[in-house]
A and B are shown apart, each in its own frame.
Chain A
Amino acid sequence: MAAARVRGVLWQRAAARLRAGARAASDLPKELMPGPYPRTPEERAAAAKKYNMRVEDYEPYPDDGFGYGDYPKLPDRSLHERDPWYQWDQQDMRHNWGQPMHWDFDMYIRNRVDTSPTPVPWHTMRKHFLIFLTTMLIMFGVGEMYPSYRPVGPKQYPFNNLYLERGGDPNKEPPEVKHYEI
């Protein structure tokens, strides 16, 4: 890829800058640090060059007071989507030296948010899962309304089913009671 050629050029240029500016070895010189929002096309070109991007790819965050400055707005793609088999400079971060990092790069590492495309479309997934969940909840409600239990029958007493105790006529013959087994 062009990464190798870019890498070589970047190294020499950054080394030259560092030799020139960073005497205290504490930080990058002011030209290489992020700056204010670029207003003129020249500033945009300079900012794109600073971040190692092409001018046509470079797009800063809108200037709405949130303090992004001239930092480029990269697509919100997590590191899961980068090629796992390519030999990156930093294999665990899937990142090459000098490549511009996303503003929210710590959210898009491989331990965090995954934005890679799913095999099944998102709305299908959501629909099927919600169908499953609502069906289960409704059926649990139905199951509460019609619970399952061992069959029960009314209580049976032996002989003549308490005919006398239940106020039957003692002079009359008690009716024949047939008991049933379940």
Chain B
Amino acid sequence: MLTRLPRLGVSLPRLLCNPPARFVSQSKPSGSAGAASVTELHPPEEKSGHGEVSPYVKNPDYHGFSRDPVVDEWNMRVGFFFGISVALVIGGTFIHYLPDHGMREWARREAERVVLQREQEGAPLLSEYYFDPEKIVLPSSGEQ
């Protein structure tokens, strides 16, 4: 990686500028597989030369999508419209207005309202009995 420093405008000692034979691969990387060795050395060049040219040189409004300025512009619009305006805004509104499934939010609001009401009345918040004692029917002690 340090061999790429010349591209960034730093001048290097001669040993790195002229790779000796001890580097592993002398062949150019084949196009689609990429370099198996990381020692391909590009000569230091200026921005408008034959090395890696910044896309901002030809297209100052480069958005990062494509070298073709028209496609670049449209791709940016597609991304922002469908990503932000449709997905986040419209999708977010849809999610915000989803119904209260299982009435959970209602239950929380109702509980808070009832607690407030009972505190104001001075009544206990919950009765001790889980069941209503008057509804419990016990067999009389005389029967089997």
**A and B form one complex:** no
Residues of chain A whose beta carbon lies under 8 Å from any beta carbon of chain B: none
Residues of chain B whose beta carbon lies under 8 Å from any beta carbon of chain A: none
